[in-house]
Structure 1
Amino acid sequence: MSQLHYHAQPTLRDPLVIAAFRGWNDAAESATHAIQYLADRWSSEKIAEIDSEDFFIFTETRPTVKITDDDKRVIVWPDNEFLAYSAPDLERDIILFLGTEPQLKWNTFAQSFLKVCRNFRASEVILFGSMLSDVPHSLAVPITGASYDPATLSRLEEMTLPTSGYEGPTGILSVLHEVCHQAQIPTTMFWAAAPHYLATTPNIMVSSALLTTLNGYLSLDLDLDEIQAEARRFSSRIDAMVARNPEAGEYIRQLEEQLDELENEIEIEIELEEEDEDEADSHREEQSTPLPSADVLIENIEAMLRMEREHQGLPYHSDDDEKDVE
């Protein structure tokens, strides 16, 4: 059975692919929500999908049952879909990809992704990811970039975006990054850091930051007023909740100080390049201050968010809900 299904073959203008995956690469569902935000506001056309059968362990990533408007039960499988969007005010067309990180055959999956990019002659690929980190919601969302292309790295430097030097376990995004690079398709990854104490999903502030970065990087002139306003309202609600909880306020203040110390440490490292290594290590120890446990903060903010959502009659979901199911 073919792993690829094409639903349409539109002629696209110099298409740009923007992709995100649910799962390990999607802390607080921030990356996928950024893609979904665009898909919901554009009249996009489903042009292709990667079949889930060969790539998932369905006892780990389970299909779901849904009831249709005419009361029929349908099975919804993990999806990996390509959506095309064309607009006369944009110089190029856009292919949105929204998927779920597979458990199996990553190389085969990556080749299927690449085939779709080649089929529609994609000229560039952007990959969105998000990770939980010790960052406060009160400061700008940290964004890092990654690319193999020297020109792209120069562009990231112009935008004062730090590049990632991460080494360790990785997700499907890094595999796609390498496969597309080997196929000579310019590819850039943008990773956003989400506050680890806000498990509520999606984190609108992080999604907004990713889209704002994309807008600046490619000069797309996308209208992001709505999601940016949502992000400000979300931040204000968290501020109000933290103001009612002195322990939460103290924790966030320490996170802010830790980031300041980290920035100062980078400057100090430059000054200490010629210094004896033992003296440098001693200086780092003096600069570092351990943070207290965030358990109480997380529980309090999650409880307040849940009560607020229930009071408004809105659904609430947190990352912990998924852990409970597992």
Structure 2
Amino acid sequence: MLAAFEGWNDAAQAASDVIRHLTSTYECREVRRITCDGYYDYQSVRPVICHVTGRARIVWPQTTFYEIMLDGGVRMYAQIAPEPNYRWMSYCRQTLNIAAELDVDRIVTLGSMFAPCPHTRPLPVSISEGSCQCEQDREYSGPVGIPTVLDSMAADDGYRTTSMWVSIPQYLGDLPCAQGSLELTRAVSELIAHPLDEGCLPQKARLWAQRATLLTECSETVRQHVQRLERQYDADAAAAKSAAPGAPQAEQLVRETEEFLRGMANGTPC
């Protein structure tokens, strides 16, 4: 089951738009719902009024669970909601009870966060699975959102868990980021070993990149900032490539370490 929450955990709507993309692309149906009572502050997450068949209707914040039928008869579930304001543990417990009713065996939480990264490079996606955490999660200490709480409670209940976060260029503000949604969709596709229909996401991502470039070119300060981010991104990528298993430098280091250890075992002086 995929889970995405609008608000603090959803920079530029990149995470929640993955769910919207999947429900609009594939055959789906609503299977469960969590009502808003007791979970929301309506001054923070306001109900909205809409007109259907000439009648006014108030729509309250709520959580919706969808069954999505992928190609080849593969089925997944998706949860989408505004991040609740209150009673997170009760909310997550109710979510996991629904997951149990639907025979879900893996919980995948999606999120997006503003970060110092350039729009001219692939947007980084951090993935943690169970106890195998990405470097960012291992080093982070600070406030968390409800995806982290849900992920932790799901793991305690014995679910396989995966957390995916895409980084969004901070200098672009809240401009909806289709590139972030595309990166997350591809990460989910790889996780479930099933190709997901990207639909119009690649085209929207190209338009996002074009708009981002236009905004950048309007300010010399922003342009220089992006250039600094590009240099840092490229330097980090080069360092990661050098340190990766199989890289010449890494192989040389392994050989030297093995020779040192063999010498120690044979009593050879260093």
In 2 relative to 1, CA 133–78 (structure 1 residues): closer, same or farther, beyond 3 Å?
A: same
The separation in 1 between residues aligned to 2:175 and 2:106, in whole angstroms, is: 29
CA gap of 1:53–1:261, structure 2 versus 1, over 3 A, is same
Residue 79 of structure 2: SS of its match in structure 1?
strand
Asked if the contact 2:25–2:199 (Cα under 8 Å) also holds between the matched residues in 1, the reply is no
Aligned residue for 1:259? 233
Match of 2:72 in 1: 89
Classify the secondary structure of the residue corresponding to 1:164: helix
CA shift at 1:18, angstroms? 0.7
Report the 3-state secondary structure (helix = DSSP H, G, I; strand = E; otherwise coil) of the residue aligned with 2:121.
coil
1:139 to 107, 117, 121: 121
In structure 2, C-alpha distance between the alignment counterparts of 1:174 and 1:147, rounded to whole Å: 12
- Describe the SS at the equivalent of 1:48: strand
Q: 1:30·1:201 contact (CA, 8 Å) conserved in 2?
A: no
- The alpha-carbon deviation at position 116 of structure 1 amounts to 0.5
Distance (whole Å) between structure 2 residues aligned to residue 54 and residue 244 of structure 1: 46
One-letter identity of the residue aligned with 1:24: W
After superposition, the Cα gap between the structure-2 partners of 1:207 and 1:60, relative to the gap in structure 1 and judged at 3 Å, is same
Q: Which residue of 1 aligns with 2:48?
A: 64
- Kindly state the Cα deviation for residue 246 of structure 1 after the two structures are TM-superposed: 3.6
Q: Is the 8 A contact 1:145 1:162 kept in 2?
A: no
Q: Which residue matches 1:74? A: 57
When residues 122 and 250 of structure 1 are mapped into structure 2, their CA distance, relative to the original with a 3 A threshold, is same
Alignment of 1:183-262 (within 5 A): 183-243=157-217, 245-262=219-236
Alpha-carbon spacing, 1:201–1:35, altered in 2? closer, same or farther (3 Å): farther
The 8 Å contact of residues 63 and 76 in structure 1, kept in 2 or not, is answered as: yes
Kept in 1: contact 2:118–2:230 (CA 8 A): yes
Point out where structure 2 has 5 or more consecutive residues left out of the alignment. Answer: 244-249, 251-270
Partner AA of 1:209 in structure 2: E
Cα pair distance change 1:258/1:44, threshold 3 Å: same
Distance 1:107 1:26, change over 3 A: same
> How far apart are the structure 1 equivalents of 2:123 and 2:71?
32
Distance 1:64 1:103 in 2: 17
Asked if the contact 1:66–1:74 (Cα under 8 Å) also holds between the matched residues in 2, the reply is yes
Residues 151-170 of structure 1 deviation map (CA, whole Å, 9 limit, x = unaligned): xx6xxxxxxx7562222110
Residue 60 of structure 1 and its aligned partner are, at CA, apart by 1.9
Match for residue 4 of structure 2?
20
Partner letter of residue 254 of structure 1? R
Instruction: Give the Cα separation in 2 of the matches to 1:50 and 1:215.
Output: 27
Runs of 4+ in 1 over 6 A off after TM superposition: 264-268
- Once the two structures are TM-superposed, the CA of residue 25 in structure 1 deviates from its matched residue by 0.6
1:36 paired residue number: 20
Q: Which structure's residues are more often strand, by fraction?
A: 2
Q: Calculate the TM-score normalised by the size of structure 2.
A: 0.82
TM-score (norm 1): 0.69
**1:124-203 superposed matches below 5 A:** 124-150=106-132, 164-165=137-138, 166-203=140-177
Matches within 5 A, 1:4-19: 17-19=1-3
Number of equivalences: 243
